[in-house]
Amino acid sequence: MNSLKTILQNRINHVKTPALMVAILFCGFYSFAQAPGLSIGNVGVCDNTSVLVPLFGNNLSNIGAITLFISYDSQSLSFDTIESLDPQLSGLMAHAIPSPSRVSIVWSKTSGATFLSSTMLKLKFTVLQKSSNIAFVTANCELANNFLPPQVISVNYTDGSTFSSLPSITSDPENKTIFSQSNAVFQVTSPNATGFSWQENRAGGTNWSPVSESDTYSGTLTNTLTIKKVPASFNQFKYRCLLTRSACPALTEFATLSVDSVTGIPGQLSHEILHLSINPNPFSRSTAINYSVPEHGYVDIKIFSMSGKLMETPVEKFQPSGSYRLGDNFVYLPAGIYFCKYVFTGASNVYEASVKIIKTNQN
Domains of the chain with bracketed CATH: 1-33 (no CATH), 37-164 (2.60.40.680), 176-259 (2.60.40.10), 268-359 (2.60.40.1930)
Size of the chain in residues: 363
For β-strands 255-259 and 288-293, DSSP reports them as unpaired
Q: How many C-beta neighbours within 10 Å does residue 67 have? A: 15
Phi, psi of 7 (to 5 degrees): -60, -45
- Tell me the sheet residues that pair with 58: 37, 117
Q: Cα separation of 54 and 163, whole Å?
A: 14
Model pLDDT, residue 29: 41
pLDDT per position as a tens digit, 190-202: 999 999 999 999 9
- Tell me the sheet residues that pair with 38: 57, 157
CA distances from 42 to 75, 101, 141, 162 (A): 18, 19, 20, 6
Model pLDDT, residue 267: 40
Q: What is the pTM of this model?
A: 0.55
Model pLDDT, residue 24: 37
- Tell me the sheet residues that pair with 132: 162
Residue type, 316: E
Would you call 159 exposed, middle or buried from its count of C-beta atoms within 10 A (0-12, 13-18, 19+)? Answer: middle
Q: Cα separation of 105 and 117, whole Å?
A: 20
Q: Which residues of the chain have pLDDT under 50?
A: 1-32, 261-269
For β-strands 237-245 and 102-127, DSSP reports them as unpaired
> From the CA atom positions of the chain, what is the Rg in Å?
37
Model pLDDT, residue 260: 64
Model pLDDT, residue 255: 95
